[in-house]
Every structure is written in C-alpha cells, then in structure tokens.
Amino acid sequence: MTVSPNMRSVAATDRSIEAACEYLAAGELVGVPTETVYGLAANALDESAVRKIFAAKGRPDNNPLIVHLPDVAAMRQVVRWPLDPVVMDQFEAIADLWPGPLTIVLPRSERLPDAVTAGQATVAVRIPSHPVMQQLLRRSGLPLAAPSANRSKYVSPTTAQHVVDGLGDRVSMVLDGGACTIGLESTIVALGEQPRLLRPGAITAETLATRWNIPVESLLPVDQRPVVLEAPGMMLQHYSPRTPLLFADPSASVPAGRVGRIAFEPLSPEESKTFAVVRVLSDTGDLNRVGQHLFAAMRELDAMGLDAIVTDTCAAEGVGRAIMDRLKRAACRE
C-alpha cells in the first residue's frame, strides 16, 4: 500500500479540531483518537460519506459500523426511541459505564442510512470518553460512524502514526490525541430478551453480568464464537499481523529463524536470549497494561520481517477474555 509522503497526523488543538469538524461536515473522512483504538470517522447521517469509510478500509459492506455520540440525549438521532421496557431496564443498568469502552446494539432509527447498519434493524452506539473525541462530537454536532482506522483485517491502530501508516493516503486528516489508554476495541453487547456479548473488551462480561444479575455464561455464545454470526465483522481471521503468530509453549522449542517475543511480564535473561527481539508489555503482568500495548507490539514486530512472533497467553476471564479473543483471531490462518 502506498502512503502519501506528505501525510502527517496533526496534534489535537482547538484549531485542528475545528478543521476536523469542517471536513466531517463536508462529507470527508478523519482519523480520530478514542480511548480504545483510533477510528476512521464520517458523518453517520451522510450516506456517501459513510460509503467512503468502506472504500478506504476495503471493508465488506455487510459489516455494520459503530455510531459515536457525545451523550445519551444524542442517542435519539440514531436509535428508535423510546426503547421497549425490557431493553430500557437493561440499558439503565449499564448506562453509567458510559462514556467508555462499551458499545450497545439497539433498534435503529429510520433516519440512519442503511450503509451504516448494513441494512440491519439495529444500530451499534458508543459514547467514547476520550476528551478529543468528546470535543469533536460536541463541536461538530454530528453522530460519527467510525470503525477502527485500519485496513480491513489488519491490526487495529492505537496511535495516530498507525493510522497514517495504514490509511494516510485515504483520509483528509488524522487528529493525534496520543496513544490509546485502553488499546483494545470496545466491548459490544446486544440488548433484548436475552442480552448477548458480541465482542469482549475492557468492560468485562463479569461486570455486565453483575449489573443484570445473571450468570456470565448466559451472555456468552454457546460455542464461544457467536460473534461470527451476530457481529458480521467478527470473522475469525482478524486483527492479523502478516508474520505468523504462535502461542508460547514452555515445553516446546523456539521456532527456527528470527523470532520475536511478546511477553506479558519480564522474561528471564536466558529465555530472552533465545529471541531476536522481546517486547515486555507489563512489568507486573497487569492485563490492563497488556491490553493497552498489545496491538502496538504486534504492529512493531510485524514490521521487522521476522519469521514468527511468539506471544504469551492468559486466562480468558475479565479483560483476559478480550486479550485472548484478539490473540486467537490474530493467530488464525484460516
């Protein structure tokens, strides 16, 4: 992929945020920071702007987008209102987790272009907490459709430079709001008779289940992969570096060639020596830190022309559920 040599991200300031608002109002694409990952934003109410997102990402048009809003009041622009009473109760039990890394799938308003929802009867909405994204949403007054700002199937971006690297020639502007603090895409839940977890994230399934007073298992897919059907974008291979990704196995030898290592906590000096490069994501094995730095480490090692990347794994519970979900997809070569 060619990247325009002149494309740079722009530090988020009052002026650059104003410029971003103008691009968005004119139907253009802007790379935007959020607390989870960087997004590729367009005016969700402008069908032709939304189509540009799919073209820029190389994203299949049957994969719906998340709509970002400044606050709950703005939901009426895109959600069918009022919610039915069962859904309203579920919603109220989790609404205080906003603003934050949580996306909620609700019945859509007729006003929303079909392109956003891929023709589905529902819309995924999120109120992000990143101050730059909050300012952009408030000043533009627009609901912003924004998938992760990566080419389809590649690793999500957690810095403005990642966006420039992958999509620099396809956006009008990239607003730099610093490295993402969460680093993993938002948790997605669908509300209804039986709420379902469509994508694990930093707001954990355990937290949601507690709010609804239901067992965690009842939120999960029967085969642990319902996402394949329920969220059309969640095909198994996703978030993939080009370099083969393998899970660390203490009883196996290190693969041949130049091998990179993603470690969740410091390795012993002897073990470190067996790898061409080691990235330690947390000094203490803190999984929130691991989540924050995981995608950046994958991208960095992927750019080094290694023969393989070996990564630590963790228990699939709490935020570890999201980490293992992303790692399994990244390792999949289907």
Q: In the structure encoding, which two tokens stand for residue 293, read together?
A: 């730095």
Question: Per CB under 6 A, does 240 bind ligand TXA?
Answer: no
* Among 30, 137, 146, 309, interactor with ligand TXA by CB under 6 A: 146
DSSP state of 321: H
Question: Per CB under 5 A, does 158 bind Mg ion?
Answer: no
Sign of CA dihedral 219, 222, 225, 227: negative
Smallest distance from Mg ion to CB 270, Å: 38
Whether residue 333 is annotated as binding a ligand: the answer is no
Site string for ligand TXA, 59-78 (x = CB under 6 A): ----xxxx------------
Q: What DSSP assignment string belongs to 260-308? A: EEEESSPPPHHHHHTSSEEEE--SS--HHHHHHHHHHHHHHHHTTT-SE
Whether residue 186 is annotated as binding a ligand: the answer is yes
Of 227, 238, 233, nearest to 153 (Cα)?
A: 238
Question: Per CB under 5 A, does 187 bind Mg ion?
Answer: no
Question: Per CB under 6 A, does 188 bind ligand TXA?
Answer: yes
Q: In the structure encoding, which two tokens stand for residue 67, read together?
A: 């709509």
Binding segment (CB under 5 A) for Mg ion, from list 17-25, 144-152, 272-280, 305-313: 144-152
Whether residue 122 is annotated as binding a ligand: the answer is yes
* Among 147, 177, 200, 260, interactor with ligand TXA by CB under 6 A: 147
Separation CA 183–CA 202 (nearest Å): 9
Strand, coil or helix: 67: strand
Site string for ligand TXA, 267-296 (x = CB under 6 A): ------------------------------
CB distance 58 to 233 below 8 Å:
no
Residues 6+ apart with CB under 8 A from 278: 260, 261, 263, 267, 272
Of 131, 176, 126, 124, nearest to 149 (Cα)?
A: 176
Q: Which is nearer to ligand TXA, 16 or 103 (CB)?
A: 103
Specify the pairing of strand 259-263 against strand 308-311.
parallel
Q: Which is nearer to Mg ion, 87 or 234 (CB)?
A: 234
Binding site for Mg ion (CB under 5 A): 148
Could you list the residues known to form a binding site for L-threonine, using ranges: 36, 68, 122, 126, 146, 186
Binding site as annotated, residues for ATP? 59, 63, 148, 156, 199, 239
Residues that bind ligand TXA in the complex, under the rule CB under 6 A: 34, 36-37, 39, 63-66, 103, 105, 117, 120, 122-124, 126, 146-148, 185-186, 188, 198, 230-234
Q: Which residue positions form the known binding site? A: 36, 59, 63, 68, 122, 126, 146, 148, 156, 186, 199, 239
